Chains A and B, each alone.
Chain A
Amino acid sequence: SAVISQKPSRDICQRGTSLTIQCQVDSQVTMMFWYRQQPGQSLTLIATANQGSEATYESGFVIDKFPISRPNLTFSTLTVSNMSPEDSSIYLCSVGGTSGGSTDTQYFGPGTRLTVL
């Protein structure tokens, strides 16, 4: 299993500003994932962050809006840029699920609850 921490746990931000969320894992992992859950919606994958290469973004998400850093195998950041109220969500980082085994589990951090005014 993996223990994942995120900072901040919650924040209230003004429209037009940016927030960087940090994710720290207690072990080295190849791939880290960033998800968000908008109110009343499903957990949705934003991007996959690989160490040493650019992140891979899902349809509907772009690097200019959600830049990601992955400086080493235990750490990643997600920035939510030029925020609007529609960005109010819970943002979660996740690791695992890629060992190649059919029963590999994906582990999640506790989330960052973001409110944009």
Chain B
Amino acid sequence: ILNVEQSPQSLHVQEGDSTNFTCSFPSSNFYALHWYRWETAKSPEALFVMTLNGDEKKKGRISATLNTKEGYSYLYIKGSQPEDSATYLCAFKGGTSYGKLTFGQGTILTVHP
């Protein structure tokens, strides 16, 4: 059974704060690491697909880093806004491109105005 862990489970920040959360995953048989943002009643939105050790990806105020050797990825949000409030999910894909995604439980972010 693959273990994909996210921390913290939930996070409350003030508008303008920068924040980050963690996804840990198996360091062996790594293929890709996906990050999603999931707002209530909407489809999970793909943020990043990361494949190479040391990868850094950025999309607006959101960025992510990847360490496949030690099995963790960080997601950073700079200058949080209320519209960033959502559940952030990471998902590990092992083996091959046809391997299934194993999700963490998510980090629930609430940004207070």
Chain A residues with CB under 8 Å of chain B are 4, 9, 33, 40-45, 48, 58, 92, 97-111
Contacts and interface: CB of A to CB of B under 8 A. Distances in A.
Interface residues of B, number: 24
A40 B105 contact: yes
B41 A104 contact: no
Given A42-B103, A42-B105, A102-B32, A108 B97 contact: no
Contacts, number: 59
9 contacts: A9-B41, A42-B102, A92-B43, A98-B97, A102-B31, A105-B46, A108-B36, A108-B44, A110-B43
B101 A110 contact: no
What does DSSP make chain A's interface, helix, strand, loop or mixed? Answer: loop
Nearest to B101: A106
B31 to A, nearest CB: 7
Contacts of A103: 32, 49, 51
